[in-house]
Amino acid sequence: MQEIAFFDLTIVQRFRDYVSFSLRYTYGDHICSAVGMGWMSEDKVSYYLNHVVLNDQYVLPAKLAAIGISATGMQLVFEHSQLDALTKSRIKEFYKKS
């Protein structure tokens, strides 16, 4: 499992029932970024990613697993458990403050 040395999620905008966010993280030797949408229903956080960038280049779908992301249905999410937990906890923190 790759080491996560840096993770930063910023809420860009809140809409009625969801937030848009941007994030940057390291995955081993890779510097990655993405944007996404997240929401809460009851106490469960859900999200999806898009515009994934690896070392300043958009990532082809075949290379997403190399940076901890998988396609679930038609949505991109973190398959790396630490990245998934960090993303969900930051979104949840935002909603609890609001």
Length in residues, the chain: 98
pTM: 0.92
In angstroms, how far is the first alpha carbon of the chain from the final one? 34
Angstrom distance (rounded) from CA 39 to CA 46: 6
Q: Tens of pLDDT along the chain (98 residues)?
A: 678 999 999 999 999 899 999 999 999 899 999 999 999 998 899 999 999 999 999 998 888 998 999 987 789 999 999 999 999 999 999 998 87
Angstrom distance (rounded) from CA 93 to CA 98: 9
Q: How many CA atoms lie within 13 A of 55 on its CB side?
A: 9
